[in-house]
Structure 1
């Protein structure tokens, strides 16, 4: 069943699904705010995080258990597809990416700079063209991880329960981060978005999925350099998910970073050049090629398991 779901994701990769995700995200945000109000705690507290996510994960598990074997498991397959496409349906950031690429190719560099600022969610006036391109590509890799690989990794491991857990936990942390940013602006001091336990939980969810995505990104480019970079970085716990994935991506292009604080900015092309345009166009192909590796591994698992 997981193989057919993965195949559906690959075939329907241009499915946006915002009509499905936006009302559910809004309802989940209201539920999280209700829990926080009743407990008189911030959205990022451990208690609010657990009580907002876990009841829905448990409910899905009970529903799958109840539907098991009914009508040749067709309702279960439908539920798998529904949960996975909900979990993958966050496309608001990719709208800015599409606009950014369109403006760039139309030589509207002012608009492209505006969209780049929206992608990075920060002002870009003090960033050089080379660093700006590196930051944009780095964020696109994180979008692919957060909206694709993280969900599919936990789906392969734990089924739709894992996919829903990954989706709701990321959404809960995003809501908490937005609240912390608003309070920071109002009160004039920097506030943390989540309790340390919540951040640790996110890191545990991210670590294996990020390592697997980094490995597939590296070996689908230049396998020998990619494996060397992966071995160098796999146990560097201080590397954030974004930095780790960007280093593996660069290894796939032929650049090797040996030290933990090495920067890949100097090795990237300058923004609004033909080389930068080629790298941006190649990035999507690299991501979907990596996903195809996952589908192939799943197919082999289905063949040899049964």
Structure 2
């Protein structure tokens, strides 16, 4: 059933608006505000309530539905959870204005739209494009690949836990709570980001990825964002940043790298499903 859910997720992502309807964070954000005010001195307790509370509700729902109709009644719940656990926003749509400005070689407009739409800033044109490239790789990883990895490995509870930690790290007002969410998310990122880097190597330049990450692939200190950006740029052999169409083509190349990696992941998951 897991592979069927992942296929349906692709269909929903490409051909429907269900994602925007499912990803309603209002109730959880209200819970965040309540936990921060009620347990301001116990950030671990607040984070446990924010993450474990929804997980317990989901676990109970699945426990009740799994025995019914050979588990097929749980399929909509799995699909809802995975869609909710995906990243927020439309990455390609958000990149559109920047791509248009960069293609016209309008650096000033590119700075403005990058700051407005992507929350990306830089001191030079070359640095700006590199940061947008990094934004593309990181957002694709945390929005899609990490969620798919944890769902395929451990099911909907793990996928939902990853997104709730990401939301806590992004929206928490208290520094202590945010730091603990970042720590736990870093732990959950350790394995999937390295699996994605390996996929980049297989569908891109294997030697370049090996050289770029050989000494840091098992390092706990390197962040997931740093690792996925280095691996992606190495795998695609990204050239030096330039204004105009040549610069936009680097974004297209990285997107195609991500698409090939997704196809590889789905192919491996299909084989694994057949074998078990």
Is 2:11 aligned against 1:25?
no
Q: Which moved more, 1:88-97 or 1:158-167?
A: 88-97
Paired position in structure 2 for 1:262:
none
Is contact 1:46-1:197 (8 Å) kept? yes
The alpha-carbon distance between structure 1 residues 122 and 296, as it changes in their structure 2 partners (threshold 3 A), is: closer
Paired position in structure 1 for 2:61:
63
Deviation digits for residues 17-50 of structure 1 (CA, Å, limit 9, x no counterpart): 22321xx3121110111122222448xx222111
Is 2:51 aligned against 1:50?
no
Paired position in structure 1 for 2:240:
268
Paired position in structure 2 for 1:304:
275
Taking structure 2 as the reference length, what is the TM-score of the superposition? 0.89
Q: CA deviation at 1:102?
A: 3.6
Is contact 2:111-2:121 (8 Å) kept? no
In structure 2, the residue corresponding to 1:239 is in which secondary structure?
coil
Q: Which runs of 5+ in 2 are unaligned?
A: none
In structure 2, the residue corresponding to 1:232 is in which secondary structure?
coil
Q: CA deviation at 1:242?
A: 1.5
Kindly report structure 1 stretches of 4+ aligned residues shifted beyond 6 Å. none
Q: CA deviation at 1:12?
A: 3.9
Paired position in structure 2 for 1:39:
39
Q: Which moved more, 1:144-153 or 1:231-240?
A: 231-240
Paired position in structure 2 for 1:211:
194
Q: In 2, Cα distance between the equivalents of 1:175 and 1:145?
A: 19
Q: In 1, Cα distance between the equivalents of 2:252 and 2:219?
A: 30
Q: In 2, Cα distance between the equivalents of 1:248 and 1:34?
A: 40
Q: In 1, Cα distance between the equivalents of 2:26 and 2:138?
A: 23
Is 2:4 aligned against 1:4?
yes
Is contact 2:51-2:164 (8 Å) kept? yes
Deviation digits for residues 160-191 of structure 1 (CA, Å, limit 9, x no counterpart): 11111111111111111xx25xxxxxxxxxxx
Paired position in structure 2 for 1:161:
157
The alpha-carbon distance between structure 1 residues 10 and 195, as it changes in their structure 2 partners (threshold 3 A), is: closer
Is contact 2:168-2:178 (8 Å) kept? no
Residue correspondence of structure 1 range 21-170 to structure 2 within 5 A: 21=23, 24-41=24-41, 45-88=43-86, 90-91=88-89, 95-105=93-103, 109-119=107-117, 121=119, 123-124=121-122, 127-170=123-166
Corresponding residue pairs, total: 274
Q: CA deviation at 1:51?
A: 0.7
Is 2:222 aligned against 1:250?
no
Deviation digits for residues 243-267 of structure 1 (CA, Å, limit 9, x no counterpart): 1111111221247xxxxxxxxxxx5
In structure 1, the residue corresponding to 2:214 is in which secondary structure?
helix
Q: Which moved more, 1:240-249 or 1:194-203?
A: 194-203
Q: In 2, Cα distance between the equivalents of 1:209 and 1:131?
A: 27
Q: In 1, Cα distance between the equivalents of 2:205 and 2:90?
A: 32
Q: CA deviation at 1:95?
A: 4.0
Paired position in structure 1 for 2:217:
234
In structure 1, the residue corresponding to 2:215 is in which secondary structure?
helix
The alpha-carbon distance between structure 1 residues 13 and 96, as it changes in their structure 2 partners (threshold 3 A), is: same
Deviation digits for residues 203-244 of structure 1 (CA, Å, limit 9, x no counterpart): 111111111112212321112333444433312332221211
Provide the alpha-carbon RMSD of the alignment: 2.3
Q: In 1, Cα distance between the equivalents of 2:157 and 2:4?
A: 17
The alpha-carbon distance between structure 1 residues 279 and 33, as it changes in their structure 2 partners (threshold 3 A), is: same
